[in-house]
Chain A
Amino acid sequence: MTVAVASPTSSTTARFSPRWLSDRLGGLVLHVVVIGLTVAWMVPTIGLLITSFRQSADISNSGWWTALSPPFKFTLDNYSQMFAASNLGQSLFNSFMISIPATIIPVTLAAFAAYAFAWMKFPGRDWIFLALVGLLAVPLQLTFIPVTTEFVKLGLTPQHLTAIGLPPFIPLWLAHAGYGLPFSIYLLSNFFRALPSDLFESAEIDGAGTLTVFFRIVLPLSVPAIASLVIFQFLWVWNDLLVALIYVGGVATVAPVTVTLVNLVGSYGQNYQLLTAAAFFSMIVPLVVFLSLQRYFVRGILAGSVKG
């Protein structure tokens, strides 16, 4: 018997074994899928970017990919026209005036509420939480008419607020806070709940009251969760067109960037090329926000608190 039979090796990394092959193939498939998805996701954005640097005549005559081959005919016309045509400075200011409070208010409220839902005992806690989660399923559009009616009744319209000397953005702050709260509370309370209970008990014995525990232990440990929530909420408010259009509608002095940009395009879709430039311009702020906060996305900030 001199026939050598390949004996199955116990090593999982043995070359050319079925296991090795499937590992390799699995890795390969994963990479192809991930890269493919990324490319598919980026193609429209890249197309938009290239289009924004093309002349309007070319845009309507040929696809954006033709611009990638010589002769190159890029231009900044769209950008200069866009700046000339719109009052971008005012709307940028408005966007910040809307987005920053409309981020801070719901995130702050949500943090307090989430702490209560996660770590305090009060009657009906689970039912209230359930109702709150249920609110996640309510379509935004359903709320427009009743909320607008109430806002008008209460005098929360840009015109009236300006007349009495209050910021005209209040209706948007309230609306965005309301729309953002259910998700924010849900996300944060899940995060808080995952904090080890030993920390809370230890703090209790150490003599820390509820507020001390919240500010000195819960908040510092929740920076990653809060940072991601801030990014979500800020991007949602910044990119929002519908809510702004409904509650502060036609008032140009209050309109955020999104509303102004939409108005660049005429009713028949003319000046479409300006929108490409405008879209890229309006992406700058969200990009800065994301890139500056993303380092807080580090996991494992809890490492070392419990267990050896």
Chain B
Amino acid sequence: MASVTYDHVVKRYTADLTVVKDFNVEIKDKEFMVLVGPSGCGKSTALRMLAGLEAISEGEIRIGDRVVNNVAAKDRDIAMVFQSYALYPHMSVYDNMAFPLQMQHMKKDDIDKRVKNASRILGLDNFLKRKPRALSGGQRQRVALGRAIVRSPKVFLLDEPLSNLDAKLRGQTRIELQKLHRDLQTTFIYVTHDQVEAMTMGDRIAIMNAGILQQVGTPGDIYDHPANLFVAGFIGSPTMNFVPATVDNGTAKASGLEVKLPKPVSAAKGTLGFRPEAVTDRVVEGGPTMKMKVDVVERLGSDQFLYGQVGADQVTARVDPRMSVQPGDTVQLGLDTRGLHFFDAETEKALI
């Protein structure tokens, strides 16, 4: 149980290959923090520096109050779950979980107690004698978790632990992991490229792109107030609509849409952003409207998504599932301005 602080952390492989740039985050004690971003964004490297598997080029990483830059991985009081699980294939489930404790020269009885306890929590009681190859993917994943749990570390590091599971199991394990976090009352740092995992599991999310931290915040915060164009496009499915627009006297004009901005912006040009759920078949009197030429209709039962052209721009709308629309139709849609964003053309920062 400890907080984790990244203080101006840089990871540089060669003079012109910097994979993590000036990374600053403070992860609170007992928090479930998710590092998310597209592949190659430096999120795994950030985690591996904390684990002690990569050297830190610049800056400081602290666990609690202790600077760990020069502390060996085994002495950092962390446990890591790898994407590949990294189970020792020649050892039984029991020995896999006992291994880190044996390395600490713990007494046999204590090891036994801890392993039994972890296997009970994870429902592995009946598999303790098996080798990893005789387990299913989900069970292997739990053994990997068990190996982390037995150490009762201060910080849990999880590097894409769900990406080798099938979709159904992934959903289940997501819930189990959250339960586990609640039960263990420990700091979790979780790396993923999947924004759904990030949104559903994280107390807070840190979004990275190209080695640079983009935004840190609660899932709701990031969804409603993305700091820039990248975050807005990365979080949410289907993705936010982006429409190039010019601003004239507080009104943004796009090719097929005109909308009065809720507050004045300094830029004359930029990108108008609004989520699909802000575009509906409910047209408010006096509110902004648009005409969409529908290309594709997706009915999901609870929702209906329309993909089509508004002026020269591609727009996605979420409409009432009972609305009857065919591809090729032109429909009149309303825009809810409460979820309106405007991004600067140059900096891509959110102005609204």
- Mark A residues whose CB is within 8 Å of B: 196, 198-199, 201-208, 212, 216-217, 220-221, 301-308
Contact = CB atoms under 8 A, between A and B. Distances in A.
Given A205-B51, A207-B74, A305 B89 contact: yes
Contacts of B84: 196, 198, 305-307
A148 B306 CA distance: 87
Contacts of B90: 217, 220-221, 301
B82 A206 contact: no
Contacts of A196: 84, 86
A198 to B, nearest CB: 4
Interface in B57-80: 73-74, 78-80
A198 B86 contact: yes
Given A205-B73, A205-B78, A306 B133 contact: no
A204 B53 contact: yes
A308 B53 contact: no
Nearest to A195: B89
5 contacts: A202-B86, A202-B88, A205-B78, A303-B133, A304-B132
Contacts of B132: 304-305
A303 B132 CA distance: 8
Contacts of B85: 198, 305-308
B164 A206 contact: no
B232 to A, nearest CB: 33
B87 A304 contact: yes
B67 to A, nearest CB: 19
B135 A304 contact: yes
B53 A201 contact: yes
Q: Which residue among B79, B85, B86 has the maximum number of chain A CB atoms within 10 Å of its CB? A: B86
B177 interface: no
A221 B89 contact: yes
A212 B105 CA distance: 13
A301 to B, nearest CB: 7
Contact of B100 (A198, A206, A217, A220): A206
Q: Is the interface of A mostly helix, strand, loop or mixed?
A: helix
A79 to B, nearest CB: 45
Given A198-B85, A205-B73, 8 more contacts: A201-B86, A202-B88, A203-B88, A204-B74, A205-B52, A208-B99, A304-B134, A308-B136
Contact of B82 (A202, A207, A212, A308): A202
A301 B99 contact: no
Contact size range, B: 20 to 34
A169 to B, nearest CB: 35
Given A204-B74, A205-B51, A305-B132, A199 B86 contact: yes
Contacts of A305: 84-89, 132-133
Contacts of B89: 221, 301-305
A203 B53 CA distance: 11
B237 to A, nearest CB: 24
Which 8 pairs of residues, A with B, have the shortest CB-CB distance?
Answer: A304-B133, A308-B137, A305-B89, A207-B74, A207-B103, A198-B86, A306-B84, A206-B100
A100 to B, nearest CB: 26
B163 to A, nearest CB: 9
Contacts of B104: 207
Interface string B132-156: 1111110011000001000000000
B140 A308 contact: yes
A206 B140 contact: no
B274 to A, nearest CB: 39
Nearest to B52: A205
B244 to A, nearest CB: 43
Contacts of A220: 90
A205 B74 contact: yes
Contact of B88 (A207, A217, A303, A308): A217
B53 A206 contact: no
Interface in B154-205: 164-165
Given A304-B135, A305-B132, A199 B88 contact: yes
Q: Which residue among B52, B73, B89, B100 has the maximum number of chain A CB atoms within 10 Å of its CB? A: B89
Nearest to B87: A305
Contacts of A208: 74, 99, 103
B131 interface: yes
Contacts of A201: 51, 53, 80, 82, 86
Contacts of B136: 308
B103 A212 contact: yes
B79 A205 contact: yes
A85 B117 CA distance: 71
Contacts of A221: 89-90
A201 B53 CA distance: 7
Contacts of B78: 205
Contacts of A212: 103
Contacts of B140: 304, 308
A222 to B, nearest CB: 10
Contacts of A306: 84-87
